[in-house]
């Protein structure tokens, strides 16, 4: 008599889980992976709440960000002024959260602009190849090797240092890393079977690049955009802190730290609050980028618990 080996319950459950996972859409699998990344979820929540507070706090505050003598000058945190007041009596909390508005806008504009430039150049270089690839790669390497601070100084003197002009200047230096990433992905995908099938069906280069290959690079592009937001905010804050960025009276976080650096020994709270906001944004963006990288990884087929 042939022995029949019963299937263990654990094996049956594992098989059923695998089938269920395979049946899920890519978006659902991505969300399942992301929500199990505790740091990324926490960072996303903190980042959303912090961003909302940049608009809510100034809107409901009784003080304006540029209101002189809103309180007694140079007083520490109190019930009336949670972050204290500066040397001319302006409310530091309202100025800090208003500065957060400018910094978030600049960071997003830089990330989006750099992603657009990097995606176009990287896609063209990777798909077309030849002398086009060589020219774009040479230009990318030139941008990488030239000191960014020198380029920022020259361009800001030529085009001004307003918040939007500075954003485009920084974006002009933030695209090379994404260009290399997208170029490598296009080089890999253009020899895949689905691209060969599209080419055999008569699809032109533009359709193949933007309809068939580009959607497969969406994950790495989104991750790099997320990380670029933090990089842009840090760079803008650094330039403003060195009096090379957005000029006063625009209250960016970097400008607030620049104004407070002379009082670091006697009134450290003036520097602590805007500097703490920059640190929180940067940490949240980096944790969020790590979570998105894991969630959008197409090779991760099972949800990590």
Q: Is residue 16 part of a domain?
A: no
Q: What is the pLDDT of residue 2?
A: 45
**pLDDT: which is higher, 13 or 238:** 238
Mean pLDDT, all residues of the chain: 80
For range 176-187, the mean pLDDT = 90
Token reading at 297: 């990884």
Question: According to the model, what pLDDT value does residue 74 have?
Answer: 81
Summarize pLDDT for 92-102 with one digit per residue, the tens: 889 999 988 88
Region 51-73 average pLDDT: 86
Q: Does 8 reside within a domain? A: no
Each residue of 182-236: pLDDT tens digit? Answer: 998 898 888 888 888 888 888 888 888 888 888 888 888 888 888 888 888 888 8
Domain coverage including residue 252: 36-295
Is 217 a domain residue? yes
pLDDT tens string 119-148: 999 999 988 888 999 999 999 988 888 777
Separation CA 27–CA 46 (nearest Å): 23
Residue 55 reports pLDDT greater than 90: yes
Whether 169 maps to a domain, the answer reads: yes
User: Considering its fold, how many domains does the chain have in total?
Assistant: 1
Predicted local distance difference test score (pLDDT) of residue 161: 65
- Read off the CATH number of the domain in which 204 is found: 1.10.3720.10
Q: pLDDT-derived band of residue 298, with 50, 70 and 90 as boundaries?
A: low
**Arithmetic mean of pLDDT, 38-43:** 88
Q: Work out the pLDDT band at 10, boundaries 50, 70, 90.
A: very low
Lowest mean pLDDT of 10-14, 25-29, 140-144, 254-258, name the range: 10-14
Residue 74 lies in a domain: yes
User: For residue 261, is it within any domain?
Assistant: yes
CB atoms closer than 10 angstroms to residue 34: 18
pLDDT at 69 over 70: yes
Residues 295 and 302: beta-carbon distance below 8 Å: no
Does the residue 25 lie in any domain?
no
Q: Is residue 9 part of a domain?
A: no
């Amino acid at each position: 008599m042939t022995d029949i080996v019963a299937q263990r319950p654990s094996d049956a459950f594992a098989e059923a889980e695998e089938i269920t996972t395979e049946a899920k859409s890519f978006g659902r699998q991505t969300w399942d992976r992301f929500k199990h990344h505790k740091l990324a979820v926490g960072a996303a929540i903190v980042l959303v709440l912090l961003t909302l507070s940049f608009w809510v706090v100034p809107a409901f505050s009784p003080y304006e960000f540029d209101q002189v003598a809103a309180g007694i000058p140079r007083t520490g945190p109190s019930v009336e002024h949670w972050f204290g007041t500066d040397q001319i009596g302006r409310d530091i909390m309202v100025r800090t959260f208003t500065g957060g508005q400018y910094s978030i806008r600049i960071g997003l504009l830089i990330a989006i602009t750099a992603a657009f430039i990097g995606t176009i150049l990287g896609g063209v270089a990777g798909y077309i190849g030849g002398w086009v690839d060589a020219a774009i790669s040479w230009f990318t390497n030139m941008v990488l090797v030239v000191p960014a601070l020198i380029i920022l100084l020259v361009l800001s003197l030529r085009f001004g240092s307003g918040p939007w002009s500075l954003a485009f200047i920084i974006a002009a230096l933030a695209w090379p890393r994404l260009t290399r990433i997208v170029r490598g992905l296009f080089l890999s995908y253009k020899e895949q079977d689905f691209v060969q099938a599209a080419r055999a069906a008569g699809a032109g280069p533009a359709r193949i690049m933007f309809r068939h290959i580009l959607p497969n690079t969406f994950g790495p592009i989104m991750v790099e955009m997320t990380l670029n937001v933090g990089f842009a905010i840090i760079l803008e804050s650094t330039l403003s802190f060195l009096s090379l960025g957005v000029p006063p009276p625009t209250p960016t976080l970097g400008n607030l730290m620049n104004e407070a650096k002379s009082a670091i020994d006697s009134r450290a709270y003036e520097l602590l609050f805007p500097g703490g906001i920059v640190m929180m944004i940067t940490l949240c963006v980096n944790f969020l980028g790590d979570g998105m990288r894991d969630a959008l990884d197409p090779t991760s087929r099972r949800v990590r618990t």
